[in-house]
Amino acid sequence: MKEAYVQFHGIVKKFGTVVANDHIDLDVEKGEILAILGENGSGKSTLMNMLSGIYMPDSGSITINGKPAEIRSPKDSIKLGIGMIHQHFKLIDNFTGYQNILMGNSSASLRQKKEIKKINELMDKYGLHIDLDKYVYDMSVGEKQTLEIIRVLYRGADILILDEPTAVLTPEEIKKLFVILKNMRSAGHAIIIITHKLNEVMEISDRVTVLRKGRNVGTLITKETSIWELTELMVGKPMDPVIHREECELGEVLLTLDGVTAYNEDGVKVLDEIGFELFSHEIVGVAGVAGSGQKELCEAIAGLYPVHKGSVKCMGQEIIGKTPGEIIRMGVSMSFIPEDRLGMGLVGSMDITDNMLLKSYRDQKGLFINRQPAREMAKKIVEKMDISTPSISTPVSKLSGGNIQKVLLGREIESNPKVLITAYAVRGLDIGASYTIYDMLNRQKKRGVAVLYIGEDLDTLLQLCDRIIVMFAGKISGIVDARNATKEQIGLMMTGKVMMYV
């Protein structure tokens, strides 16, 4: 066995009373890719931020190349050859690629030609191909990430940390990234990728360290493990990592969109002739690169986004141009789970009871509110959805993300909608909570509800949905059958390169 290049010994980091890292031991060798796997809040990012000099451990130590390393700032970190690629890129938009790379290296401007040559050699060596004369604002997300990697390499990093690098990439871009990572591995770099996606761990890593609640619960050799074992380690109990799809006979058409077109405040077309049908007993997924019009689509259906033209018929009733209030009063049985749970679906400072009232207070007679039914509903939902909360009078903003989502979904499902629109329903939730949500959606489907599911993770979409609508730049670039579509097909449609209708 090679000598471990980076070693963590008993790292502890506390934030107030929360222990983010609890005596973590970890090591990375040169020429290997280590995946750090864990759910949201398991302490992955905290741990890596100690390597990149953003935090300092409360106790424990880090050694690099056999020598104890005291990393007090990102500068120390760079000196030690550590490079971190953050989830949110740290680039200057109106600089070119070269300018972003050379920035901060004051002597480089004197011998720019030489430095540019050096950068180009780096790119050839690792198979990174982007046009560095382009301004950052003209680059795609994948190009920006590549630029970050080049910059880190140029600064001489031999330890690379990537925080959720695939979250914003299309499948095609992910493939490219993995090729780059493999090249870097062959060149003898130590690479750490932080992720919560099991498939990626299996595909790219040599070893995987699983964190749960701030502890290292196991380091495994990727070849010798399975996604089942990893899920169990990550969640703490055995769990089927495959999402179940409820098989149902399709029912009648419940929601019909036709030629829906909308512009944003700047006059840019955000929805372009969107048309599709949603049937009873089906879950239709919507895939697309972030910002392709998914949010506007949901809000347009719910009456929250101004639509320029087109038609939205819910169970035969035209609802385009109506306000949410009017749609409710028309008796249209539709529920919308917005992306921004506390900013749109719920009132964060109010308790569960008062949040239950949001949709039902109107139906009460008289000028005053009787909170008793809402209290009972709150109790029922807390029980049914297994919401962990100190009481029904706790402000919802104090609950965890998963529980907040359960409050919102619980309330909407309680109104027995015929059409359910969900935007990023599992964003930020841990696996357990996500599966609860999938189960609930499946139950609704079985009941005959038509579900529109806006998602980010293609694996989830392929496993859960019946059909998938792929959006690109406000247009529908394809509608595929989820049972026989592949990630690659959808990925191509997400970039608008292929159009396909099934």
Q: Does 330 bind other proteins (CB under 8 A)?
A: no
**Applying CB under 8 A, which part among 71-79, 117-125, 285-293, 381-389 lies near other proteins?**
71-79
Contact by Cβ (8 Å): 301, 421: yes
Among 347, 498, 499, 500, binds other proteins (CB under 8 A): 347
Contact by Cβ (8 Å): 26, 209: yes
For residue 207, the SS3 value is strand
d(CA 346, CA 378): 13
Nearer to other proteins, 253 or 347 (CB): 347
Non-local (6+) Cβ contacts of 94 within 8 A are 135, 136, 137
**Applying CB under 8 A, which part among 69-77, 274-282, 375-383, 432-440 lies near other proteins?**
69-77
**Applying CB under 8 A, which part among 31-39, 247-255, 260-268, 340-348 lies near other proteins?**
340-348
Contact by Cβ (8 Å): 96, 136: yes
The least distance separating other proteins from the CB of residue 197, rounded to whole angstroms, comes to 26
For residue 218, the SS3 value is strand
Q: Does 156 bind other proteins (CB under 8 A)?
A: no
Contact by Cβ (8 Å): 186, 179: no
The least distance separating other proteins from the CB of residue 459, rounded to whole angstroms, comes to 30
Site string for other proteins, 350-389 (x = CB under 8 A): x---x--xxx-xx-x--xxx-x------------------
For residue 365, the SS3 value is coil
Q: Does 90 bind other proteins (CB under 8 A)?
A: yes
CA dihedral 360, 365, 368, 374 (to 10 degrees): -30
Nearer to other proteins, 85 or 270 (CB): 85
Non-local (6+) Cβ contacts of 253 within 8 A are 277, 278, 279, 280
Classify the phi-psi angles of 79: left when phi > 0, otherwise alpha if psi is within -120 to 50, otherwise beta: alpha
Among 12, 19, 54, 320, binds other proteins (CB under 8 A): 54
Q: Does 102 bind other proteins (CB under 8 A)?
A: no
For 405, the enclosing helix (H) or strand (E) is helix 401-414
The least distance separating other proteins from the CB of residue 16, rounded to whole angstroms, comes to 9
Among 125, 129, 343, 502, binds other proteins (CB under 8 A): 343
**Applying CB under 8 A, which part among 61-69, 229-237, 344-352, 464-472 lies near other proteins?**
344-352
Q: Where are the alpha helices (DSSP H) in 127-170?
A: 141-154
Cβ neighbours of 75 (radius 10 Å): 10
**Applying CB under 8 A, which part among 4-12, 338-346, 413-421, 483-491 lies near other proteins?**
338-346
Nearer to other proteins, 60 or 324 (CB): 324
Nearer to other proteins, 55 or 453 (CB): 55
**Applying CB under 8 A, which part among 264-272, 278-286, 318-326, 438-446 lies near other proteins?**
318-326
Which residues, 24 to 53, sit near other proteins by CB under 8 A?
Answer: 52-53
For residue 336, the SS3 value is strand
d(CA 461, CA 243): 9
d(CA 340, CA 298): 12
Nearer to other proteins, 229 or 414 (CB): 414
Contact by Cβ (8 Å): 37, 230: yes
Non-local (6+) Cβ contacts of 16 within 8 A are none
Nearer to other proteins, 260 or 327 (CB): 327
The CA-based diameter of the chain, rounded to the nearest angstrom, is 79
Phi, psi dihedrals of residue 263, rounded to the nearest 5°: -120, 150
Site string for other proteins, 279-308 (x = CB under 8 A): -----------------------x-x----
Classify the phi-psi angles of 436: left when phi > 0, otherwise alpha if psi is within -120 to 50, otherwise beta: alpha
Q: Does 95 bind other proteins (CB under 8 A)?
A: no
The least distance separating other proteins from the CB of residue 58, rounded to whole angstroms, comes to 11
Task: Count interface residues toward other proteins (CB under 8 A).
Answer: 44
Among 338, 402, 417, 455, binds other proteins (CB under 8 A): 338
Question: Which spans of this chain sit near other proteins (rule: CB under 8 A)?
Answer: 52-54, 56, 73-75, 77-78, 90, 103-104, 302, 304, 323-329, 336, 338, 340, 342-350, 354, 357-359, 361-362, 364, 367-369, 371
